Amino acid sequence: MWDYAPDRHCDPVIELTELTKRYGEKTAVDHLTVTVRAGTVTGFLGPNGSGKSTTLRMILGLNAPTSGTVTIDGKRFADRPRGLRHVGALLDAQDIHGGRSAVAHLKSLAVSNRIPPRRVGEVLEEVGLAEAGRKRIGGFSLGMKQRLGIAAALLGDPPVLLFDEPLNGLDPEGVRWVRETFQRLAKEGRTVFVSSHLMSEMENTAERLVVIGRGRLIADESLREFARRGSRTTVLVHTPEADALSVLLAAEGAEVEPAGDGGLSVAGLPAARIGELAWRDNIMLAELATQNASLEKAFMELTADAVEYAAGEAR
């Protein structure tokens, strides 16, 4: 572990202003304006093909914008000669030379960015790869490569960190470790921007969300605000008299739909009122439970019109 002291002269904010990227007639990112600030884990969500990876690559100067700007602490990343000391990133854990050892890989990055060699051992210890440091990367599992990619991102002790799908290939212990690591890094005053398609993990990791679809901004708000805005609270009901209860609740203005487990999903009436109506008409209830809005449901509802490749219905 090492001590991180934020540079008082550094404002590790990521500023995207009208950022646009076109490939011929296809627009991958469309006038995206977002500010990602320090001190919190910001999740970056969107359906496949929404432009998340292209956006991250433009932040790092790997893709040039068609128009608009993107800066970190007021400067383009490409204008920083020792980039890893300002921004650490993991975009593709598989994009790495398999013939090198983990130590050799990190040492080459350290030398090119004027980072003290001692940092190699420190970050390998931090990500749990100290004993595998001399082994060839080609023999690493995907989970080990993810850990190595995180080690490379942390090598320069940077104030800004970007991760694209960092949980792929990790076992449950690794997922928990990544979650806790990202939250700790944010608490230290860093900017942590994490792209993922795993709604459940964003629910457990991020405090703020940036959601895009077809390259356009859909939401930029706290996780709680996003879940609350995008989905209604429903009530799950189990009863041996489902047909009778459905008719009764519909007459009260509720929306009643079959639940996947044989129950009823009711919107428009609170659980207490449903219980009162069932008791009045002598309808027995086996279960009555309020289901709060979930991040996944909110995401599916708000991005429904932005899915580029939707699966057909099962027949």
Return all residues near 304 (Cβ < 8 A) that are at least 6 apart. Answer: none
Residues 22 and 107 grouped into a single domain = yes
pLDDT digits (tens, 9 = 90+) for 25-71: 999 999 999 999 999 999 999 888 899 999 999 999 999 999 999 99
Q: CA of 243: how far to CAs of 50, 237, 239, 267, 269, in Å?
A: 42, 12, 9, 16, 17
Q: Quick one: 219 and 165 in the same domain?
A: yes
For residue 242, the domain's CATH number is: 3.30.70
Rounded (5°) CA angle 217-55-27: 70
Instruction: Indicate if 98 and 238 belong to the same structural domain.
Output: no
Cβ-contact 304, 214 below 8 angstroms? no
- Phi, psi (5° rounding) for residue 35? -120, 125
pTM, two decimals, is 0.77
The better pLDDT of the pair 68, 311 is held by 68
CATH of the domain at 118: 3.40.50.300
Nearest Cα neighbor of 236 from 271, 268, 282, 272 is 271
The whole-number average pLDDT for the span 171-186 is: 92
Residue 239 belongs to what domain range?
Answer: 234-292
Q: Are residues 58 and 191 in the same domain?
A: yes
- Beta-carbon contacts of residue 6 (< 8 Å; ≥ 6 apart): 12, 38, 159, 188, 189, 190
Same domain for 120 and 252, yes or no, is no
For the record, the structure tokens of 168 come out as 């792929």
**Span 268-287, average pLDDT:** 93
Domain-located, residue 5: no
Domain end: 210, 229, 248, which one? 229
* Closest by CA position to 234, among listed 263, 276, 262, 270: 270
CB neighbours of residue 51 within 10 Å: 25
Same domain for 131 and 162? yes
Burial class for 39, CB neighbours closer than 10 Å (0-12, 13-18, 19+): middle
Question: Do 117 and 185 fall within a single domain?
Answer: yes
* Confidence category of residue 13, pLDDT binned at 50, 70, 90: very high
Q: What is the pLDDT of residues 127-145, one digit of tens each?
A: 999 999 999 999 999 999 9
Instruction: Examine residue 155 and state whether it is found in any structural domain, yes or no.
Output: yes
Task: State the average pLDDT for the chain.
Answer: 88
Domain contains 68: yes
Domain-terminating residue out of 229, 254, 283: 229
Q: Which residues pair with 194 in a beta bridge?
A: 43, 163
- Please indicate, yes or no, if residue 75 is contained in any of the structural domains: yes
102-112 and 142-154 helices cross at what angle (nearest 10)? 20
Q: Has residue 208 been placed in a domain?
A: yes
Asked if the structure places residue 107 within a domain, the reply is: yes
- The total of structural domains in the chain comes to 2
- The reply to whether 206 and 219 lie within a common domain is yes
Q: Of the residues 198, 229, 260, which one is the last residue of a structural domain? A: 229
For position 278, what pLDDT does the model report? 95
Same domain, 253 and 111: no
Q: State yes or no: pLDDT of 76 exceeds 50.
A: yes
State whether residue 195 is helix, strand or coil.
strand
**Residues with Cβ < 8 Å from 282, sequence gap 6 or more?**
none
Q: Are residues 223 and 252 in the same domain?
A: no
Contact 31, 216 (CB under 8 A): yes
Distance CA 206, CA 17 (A): 23
Residue 229 confidence (pLDDT): 66
Q: Distance between CA atoms of 139 and 144, rounded to whole angstroms?
A: 9
Stretch 235-257: mean pLDDT: 93
Residue 165, amino acid? E
Q: Are 90 and 84 in contact (CB under 8 A)?
A: no
pLDDT, tens only, 185-229: 999 999 999 998 777 778 889 999 999 999 999 999 998 888 776
